[in-house]
Structure formats: C-alpha cells, structure tokens
Amino acid sequence: MQSRNSSRAVGRPPEADLVDGRVVASYGQRLVVEDSAGQRHPAFVARRGLRLVCGDRVRWLAEDKAGDRAVVERLPRRSELTRPDSRGRGEVLAANITQLVVVCAPSPEPDPFIIDRYLAAAEVMDVAAAIVCNKADLPDAVAAGLLAEFAALGYPVLPASATTGSGLEALRACLAGHCSILVGQSGVGKSSLLNALVPDAELATAGISRATGEGRHRTTATTLHALPGGGELLDSPGVRDFAPALDDPRLAALGFREIVTAAGECRFANCRHMREPGCAVKAAVECGAIAPRRYESYRRLLRLTEDLQRRG
C-alpha cells in the first residue's frame, strides 16, 4: 500500500495543447476519460510506459485523431489502492480514492478482523473511512457492541438497507464530495448498494464496454460512477474484494488510530508494541484504553506483513 506517488511523465507537450481529464474506466491501453464538463470519451494511452488506472487524473492532446483522446500524461496520485498480484507484488487497482466504505451485514456474520484490516488500509492510504451496516431490514442486526467499538474510534457507522432503501439518504450524504469504494466480505450487499445508489450503473458499464470496443464479457473492469447526489463511487469486483497488503511491517501500527495515538508515549521511537519495555500501547491495553481485540488485530496484521516480507 502506497500513497501520494508522483507522476512519471517526461517531455510533455506545451501546456496549451493539453486538456485535463479523469480516467473513468481502464482496459489496459484502452480508456474512457471524462472531461471537465463531465462528458465521457473513448481514449488510449499514447505514451509508452504510462500506466493508468481508473481514477487517474490525466492530460490529453487537444488535437486528437478521430475523436479518440490521446492521453499523454498522468498527474500525481493522491492515493493508490493496491492488492498483491499473483507474484505477491503490489498491483494498483485504482487511484485517487478519498474514502473507503466498509460494508458489513448480519449475514454473512461479520469478521471484526477483516473490518479492522480494511480500516487499516484506509488509514495507511490516508483516506477517510466509514462503516455501513447493510441489511438493516433483517431482524438480527449486527452486534451493537462491535459497532459501538468502531464508533468510539471515530468511524462513522451507518445502518442501511439496499432492499428497503432505509439509511440511503445518510449514506449519500457520507459519499458526497468523496471518491469512494465499497469494500467488505462477499455477500454483504455491495453490488446491491451500488445499484441502489447509481440507478444506471449496469447501463453505464455496458456503454463503456461499447465505447472501448471491449466485449460484455469484460465485466471485471473498474468503472467510476458519478453519484446523483454528488461524489463518485468506484465499481469493480476485484477492487471490492482487495486484500490490503503493506510493504513494510512498520505500516501495520499506522493502521490502528488508537495505537498511533498511544505510541507517542512509548520509550522507544521504533517500538513494535510487542515485548518492548516502556511500551505505552501495551499499558493502554492493560488499563482498557485500547480494546484487546483491536490490539490482537494489530498483532495479526504485523505478523502477516512480516511473513510476506520474509517470503518476498
């Protein structure tokens, strides 16, 4: 997981020849870009080595052939959503997301460690995070204790139902002004929520497939949808189920905001909060200021990251 990468464009054409835009769908060299007026156009990557993903802010040549936009430059990324590829290296799935929305539901039963890991990914990416408890129409709501724990840490917790539409107004307000992505365990209702929030989501995706000449079988491409109430929502099964991977074990502690706060008082600046003397994090766990479950979650993420680093 990285954040704030810079552009690698070289030898750029004169400023006056370039138009600003946004990648709203990407299929390798084929793209769909949106101009500043919100119009979407087919486009292609016109520079060797220029890697673009959904959400990238780009510039293309104003004078382009046959209405096809020649994208020549990528602007610096505010954030990168990555997942380990088959060889364990980070693959960038989307750029410039500003909010990660973790969806949970009474069924499938929430795994608090998975929720913690998504929240940790948001912290490390330095983007906002919120929790949506979908399927609020079901009688057995998500354990209130678990949600209170996240709310106490300052995360917005929003009950909602994609089926009945309850809570969607509050969710729309939370999404307005952000470029968000819904993440969470399979079956919690991410697609259902997306379809409830973006009425023409499937149509938009089909239109993009036509515009780029990709067949309808390419349903896994990431698409950026404009929300009617403001903000943007990213849709891709691959992105929704991404596994937060950290390059460095030291990043694990950054994923837990209460640990970050307590760590300022640790005796050693490089304290891992495991067995070091004078550890303020362990002291906070012992006196109940940090939930033991969250501390255990931190230890699991630390161990996992160390294992990955040893193997990589």
* Residues contributing to the site for Zn ion (CB under 5 A): 266, 271, 273, 279, 281
By CB under 6 A, tell whether 108 contacts ligand GDP.
no
- Residue 190, binding choice from ligand GDP, Zn ion, none, Cβ under 5 to 8 Å by partner class: ligand GDP
CB atoms within 10 A of CB 47: 16
Burial class (CB in 10 A: 0-12, 13-18, 19+), 146: middle
The CA-atom distances, in angstroms, between 204 and each of 78, 190, 219, 247, 251 are 25, 17, 12, 35, 37
CB nearer ligand GDP, residue 136 or residue 284:
136
CB atoms within 10 A of CB 66: 5
CB nearer ligand GDP, residue 110 or residue 189:
189
CB nearer ligand GDP, residue 95 or residue 132:
132
- Residue 192, binding choice from Zn ion, ligand GDP, none, Cβ under 5 to 8 Å by partner class: ligand GDP
Asked whether 55 and 92 are in contact (CB, 8 A), the reply is no
Question: How do strand 99-104 and strand 90-95 relate by DSSP bridges?
Answer: unpaired
Taking the complex as a whole, how short is the minimal distance between the CB of residue 205 and ligand GDP, in angstroms?
14
Contacts of ligand GDP in 130-169 (CB under 6 A): 134-135, 137-138, 161-163
Q: Specify the DSSP class assigned to residue 275.
A: S
Q: In whole angstroms, what is the distance from residue 173 CA to residue 169 CA?
A: 6
Helices (H), 16-143: 112-125
Taking the complex as a whole, how short is the minimal distance between the CB of residue 165 and ligand GDP, in angstroms?
9
> For the chain, how far is it from start to end, CA to CA, in angstroms?
15
By CB under 6 A, tell whether 71 contacts ligand GDP.
no
CB nearer ligand GDP, residue 124 or residue 188:
188
The binding track of 175-214 with respect to ligand GDP, each residue x by CB under 6 A or -, is -----------xxxxxxx----------------------
Which residues of the chain form contacts with ligand GDP (CB under 6 A)?
134-135, 137-138, 161-163, 186-192
